[in-house]
Amino acid sequence: MASASGPKRQLYIKTGVVKRIAKEKKMYEKEVMDQGAKVEKMKEDGKDEHDVNKQIEVLEESKIMIPDCKRRLKTAYADLTNLVEETKEEFGETEEHKNAREMLKTTVLED
């Protein structure tokens, strides 16, 4: 039989993965908004075209990361959901299980 710490440790790890990816996605979304505003301001101010194009590249790189984060978040969310379901009888009252359920409840998945 597997040690009791195995599934609890996996709950802890997978909860952390969902939290980290959700935070990363939010950071890229904010970066896209901030960078977009910066590019517009540079254009309005008549900044050098080369500098504007460099900032547009940065903006595009950030935009590319958002779908990747969404895909990874969906996978991590599904993994955590499955683990929570598999471990609810044996570990349902543990702190790790409660944290995992709370993370699933508060994480927003998008298409």
Write out the chain's pLDDT in tens, 111 residues: 344 568 999 999 999 999 999 999 999 999 999 999 999 999 999 999 999 999 999 999 999 999 999 999 999 999 999 999 999 999 999 999 999 999 999 998 987
The per-residue pLDDT for 5 is 62
The per-residue pLDDT for 35 is 97
What is the model's pTM? 0.85
Specify whether the CB–CB gap between 37 and 88 falls below 8 A.
no
The per-residue pLDDT for 1 is 37
How far from chain centre, in Å, is Cα 101? 17
Name the one residue in this structure whose structure tokens are 């597997």: 2
The per-residue pLDDT for 110 is 84
